[in-house]
């Protein structure tokens, strides 16, 4: 048993090197296939970040009455946080609102001037409310429109922005779905290309396979070396991709960061270096072994 295992490994290894050019072709196509897989994986990470950053910008502002007391504000905040839909409540006091306003319009002397002229702070305190899902905003708005809050709250800006909010969520959902479908299709194509290369390699060895059978080798004794060749090819392709993506993410990360601030893909790759290696190896080995297993099956049938 052990000796058979050792022989299978030895044969697979020798065959891989003796068929050097055939192995090169297999490894090359597998590099491309795994490159596509990894590219899809990283672009999914990116789209996810993009979608989240868009959805993060969505919130509901609650404009509070000018004469509201601190304790009422705390009360509303607590009530809101009790709702399971609410993920965050941010309190912006009148002064904070004014400072933010000034900061935003610091290059517009006219507005600053008129603000000085006014003498007092015309702005209201605001509660910014964030929710996990788009439909929660409606619920939150309805919650705040209850009679008991009527005296404390001047306005909830949900109604004005309702259409935009739902549009943003619609688009980001569509992006997510398209991304997934596209990924699956592309991954499937890449997998099929790799599978076909291995199939051709095994097809070219079909005579040998039939000879091995006639000489009395068991199916596993014949299959083993081919599986191992597939695994070696997959491992080689995974390792090469691992290094290639180190360079690729390093090169393109600044450009992507311009589009999508805070999405340092190189940093992501670096921090997940080990997981990436595992994912790449698993993909490569599974692709190589599975393709070889399926491809050789028809030549081992009685």
Partner 1 sequence: MSLIHFQKVSKIYSPKSIALDEIELKINPQEFVSIVGRSGSGKTTLLKLLIAEERPSKGRIFFDKDDIHRLKDSQLPRLRRRIGVVFQDFKLLPQKTAYENVAFAMEAMGSPEREIKETVAQVLELVGLSEKTLSFPDELSGGEKQRIAIARALVHQPDVILADEPTGNLDPIHSWEIIRLLLKINELGRTVILSTHNKEIVNTLGKRVISLDSGRIVRDEENGKYMLY
Footprint of partner 1 (CB under 8 A): 1, 3-4, 7, 15, 18-19, 207-208, 211-218, 221, 302
Q: Compare residues 119 and 216 and give the one whose CB is closer to partner 1.
A: 216
Say if CB 121 and CB 98 are below 8 A apart.
yes
Name every residue whose Cβ is closer than 8 Å to that of residue 5 and which is 6 or more positions away in sequence: 224
Cα separation, 116 vs 94, whole angstroms: 16
Rounded to a whole number of angstroms, the minimum distance from the CB of residue 194 to partner 1 is 22
Rounded to a whole number of angstroms, the minimum distance from the CB of residue 227 to partner 1 is 16
Q: Compare residues 19 and 270 and give the one whose CB is closer to partner 1.
A: 19
Cα separation, 26 vs 229, whole angstroms: 10
Rounded to a whole number of angstroms, the minimum distance from the CB of residue 284 to partner 1 is 24
Q: Compare residues 143 and 221 and give the one whose CB is closer to partner 1.
A: 221
Q: Compare residues 14 and 78 and give the one whose CB is closer to partner 1.
A: 14
Collapsing DSSP to helix, strand or coil, 273 comes out as helix
DSSP one-letter string for 122-181 = ----EEEEEESSHHHHHHHHHHHTSGGGTTTEEEETHHHHHHHHHHHHHHHHHHHHHHHH
Cα separation, 236 vs 222, whole angstroms: 22
Q: Compare residues 209 and 285 and give the one whose CB is closer to partner 1.
A: 209
Q: Compare residues 114 and 218 and give the one whose CB is closer to partner 1.
A: 218
Name every residue whose Cβ is closer than 8 Å to that of residue 218 and which is 6 or more positions away in sequence: none
Rounded to a whole number of angstroms, the minimum distance from the CB of residue 209 to partner 1 is 10
Q: Compare residues 215 and 243 and give the one whose CB is closer to partner 1.
A: 215
Rounded to a whole number of angstroms, the minimum distance from the CB of residue 31 to partner 1 is 24
Rounded to a whole number of angstroms, the minimum distance from the CB of residue 208 to partner 1 is 5
What are the phi and psi torsion angles at 86 (to 5°)?
A: -80, 130
Cα separation, 98 vs 3, whole angstroms: 81
What are the phi and psi torsion angles at 92 (to 5°)?
A: -115, 110
Rounded to a whole number of angstroms, the minimum distance from the CB of residue 10 to partner 1 is 9
The DSSP output letter for 121 is -
């Amino acid at each position: 048993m052990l000796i058979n295992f050792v022989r299978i490994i030895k044969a697979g290894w020798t065959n891989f090197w003796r068929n050097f050019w055939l192995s090169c072709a297999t490894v090359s196509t597998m590099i491309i296939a795994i490159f596509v897989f990894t590219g899809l994986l990283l672009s999914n990470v990116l789209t996810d970040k993009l979608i989240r950053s868009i959805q993060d910008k969505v919130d509901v502002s609650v404009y509070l009455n000018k004469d509201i007391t601190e304790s009422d504000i705390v009360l509303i905040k607590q009530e809101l946080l009790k709702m399971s839909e609410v993920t965050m409540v941010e309190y912006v006091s009148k002064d904070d609102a004014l400072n933010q306003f000034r900061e935003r319009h610091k290059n517009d002397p006219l507005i600053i001037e008129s603000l000085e002229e006014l003498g007092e702070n015309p702005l209201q305190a605001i509660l910014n409310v964030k929710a996990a899902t788009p439909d929660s905003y409606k619920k939150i708005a309805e919650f705040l429109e209850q009679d008991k809050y009527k005296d404390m709250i001047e306005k909830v800006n949900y109604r004005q922005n309702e259409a935009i909010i739902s549009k943003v969520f619609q688009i980001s959902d569509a992006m997510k779905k398209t991304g997934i479908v596209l990924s699956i299709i592309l991954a499937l194509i890449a997998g099929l290309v790799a599978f076909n290369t291995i199939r051709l390699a095994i097809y070219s060895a079909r005579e040998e396979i039939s000879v091995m059978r006639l000489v009395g080798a068991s199916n596993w004794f014949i299959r083993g070396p081919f599986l191992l060749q597939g695994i070696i090819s997959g491992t080689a392709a995974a390792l090469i991709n691992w290094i290639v993506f180190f360079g690729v993410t390093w090169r393109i990360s600044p450009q992507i960061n311009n589009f999508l601030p805070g999405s340092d893909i190189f940093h992501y790759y670096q921090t997940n270096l080990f997981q990436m290696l595992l994912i790449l190896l698993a993909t490569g080995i599974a692709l190589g072994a599975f393709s070889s297993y399926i491809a050789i099956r028809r030549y081992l049938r009685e």
